[in-house]
Structure 1
């Protein structure tokens, strides 16, 4: 018997349901009524099941229907298979209906602290039974996690050319000069990069997208910065600036990561350095129901984020 014939002859769920129902009721007539089948159709179903397993499962006699020894042996297994099938369908339905599941996100620390909290709070209210994991990492790590399918969605700057990742822009960020509130540069409406570079700089990690953008500005201006110290976290940079140890060039969204006490900022210009921030997803495959719901919710929140950032900037300038 060839393999394709064996596969064709494997029992179906419908056949298992018919077998278990007849065994429990002890009657083809009652089983046909419960299963909403005609008696001939039910008989054909059982005959095909017996052909598939290679022997008789029921003894038919004037006294009624009884299981054969093989049928009695098979009954617990058939019940378990049907229970597993129902459980699997139930689990799948819960996943599609977002009643359970897990979603993994990867985000730049700026977005993890400044944008995601409100989104995640809203998501949790809507889908309380979905577990959420967030990796706040550098841009290249966001790319890797998404392209390797270890994260469902990423939030980062536009990645370098990669066929494994799709990028959808969400909002535009820009760089600002961060200084102690009484610093001379804060008397200006905007600060030139060249003027900021006249002061000791609190720099962030060379591996970060923020630092890489700053290095491009330095090349463009043919300048070097007086690097007072280099830190890994933007929050640490903010505290050092507030302590008067230097000044910093940071993305405007970073103010949601650091305490503004003792700090102020002004837009950096000449050159203006925009940063396109967006959603990263794997280019192959489809998102789960839970991840699709997150993707849609992020889009909802994005439309409200940009005006809020502009209002925040205006209020700081007016102080």
Structure 2
């Protein structure tokens, strides 16, 4: 079984464009050469990868499997090229890391700072995404590691438990809810809210649960961090949903109370996730070990 990176690049291009002609153009190959390479792939693997029709091509089940693996291989090759080129310039290897809002704002800054101080030749690119998006990106090989709500991870994603990440409601101490120990989300969806900016993963998560109750949350203010949200809540502008770790921290210096949300979706665990921990590049493996040591 012999095929090269050009074959994989061509196959991904054909699969994404659903056309051998357009796929060949994308990777700058002549149509005849592209057709021969696809046939060579099928012969080498002993399976049909494409169903050819008048309007283009469709992937067979084997083709879908190859597409999944090809994307991972090409991502790893690009990562290798980038990391080696960085070393050639005297720069650093890079770990691509995706995290949800609470992970990024509450758990990772100090943890990643300690890791980077110990490993001066490694850098980390961190992006914020909703947990479901993180799962899809990890499965597709678009990132090395993720920190996401465990319930959003499918069975084919490996994970290591990291910490509890309960979501709670916060209200000013003068609010009628302030003395409640817990509340159902449906009891408060008609209230004024203070929340994160709309591009945040947590905003998307909370707004989605409000939509399932047939409601669109009414925001008096949207801000970019939990401390600013806490100050708005303390001033009586509205209630807010935030991670319990952030809410407890804010409550120590602000006149707000923390009320548990009874709904099951508010009880979350964060997990470190990867497509396969064994096949990660060494810098990513070092980061996993660091995160495992600090897991709560």
**TM-score (normalizing by structure 1):** 0.52
- Give 3-state SS (helix, strand or coil) of 1:186's partner: coil
Match of 2:147 among 152, 155, 179: 155
1:1-319 correspondence to structure 2 within 5 Å: 101-158=93-150, 160=152, 162=154, 165-197=157-189, 199-204=191-196, 205=198, 208-209=201-202, 211-212=204-205, 215-216=208-209, 219=212, 224=215, 227-229=218-220, 231=222, 233-235=224-226, 237-255=229-247, 261-272=253-264, 273-283=266-276, 286-303=279-296
Residue 18 of structure 2 is matched in structure 1 by none
Whole-Å separation in 2 of the counterparts to 1:266 and 1:191: 11
Residue 10 of structure 2 is matched in structure 1 by none
Change (3 A) 1:270 1:102: closer
Whole-Å separation in 2 of the counterparts to 1:212 and 1:274: 13
Whole-Å separation in 2 of the counterparts to 1:188 and 1:256: 16
The answer as to whether partners of 2:150 and 2:270 remain within 8 angstroms in 1 is yes
Q: Deviations over 1:18-73 (max 9, x none)?
A: xxxxxxxxxxxxxxxxxxxxxxxxxxxxxxxxxxxxxxxxxxxxxxxxxxxxxxxx
The answer as to whether partners of 1:175 and 1:267 remain within 8 angstroms in 2 is no
List structure 1 runs of 4+ shifted beyond 4 angstroms. 159-164, 256-261
The answer as to whether partners of 2:191 and 2:218 remain within 8 angstroms in 1 is no
The answer as to whether partners of 1:239 and 1:259 remain within 8 angstroms in 2 is no
- Structure 2: gaps of 5 or more residues: 1-82
The answer as to whether partners of 2:207 and 2:217 remain within 8 angstroms in 1 is no
Aligned length, in residue pairs: 206
Whole-Å separation in 1 of the counterparts to 2:159 and 2:202: 16
Structure showing greater Rg:
1
- Structure 1: gaps of 5 or more residues: 1-90, 304-319
Deviation at 1:160, TM superposition (A): 4.6
- Give 3-state SS (helix, strand or coil) of 2:285's partner: helix
- Give 3-state SS (helix, strand or coil) of 1:287's partner: coil
Whole-Å separation in 2 of the counterparts to 1:199 and 1:189: 18
Whole-Å separation in 1 of the counterparts to 2:225 and 2:214: 23
Deviation at 1:247, TM superposition (A): 0.5
Q: CA RMSD in A?
A: 3.8
Deviation at 1:215, TM superposition (A): 4.3
- Give 3-state SS (helix, strand or coil) of 1:151's partner: coil
Change (3 A) 1:207 1:106: closer
Whole-Å separation in 1 of the counterparts to 2:160 and 2:145: 11
Deviation at 1:270, TM superposition (A): 3.5
Q: Deviations over 1:219-274 (max 9, x none)?
A: 4xx57466134737453544432342211122213448979653423232433531
Change (3 A) 1:257 1:116: farther
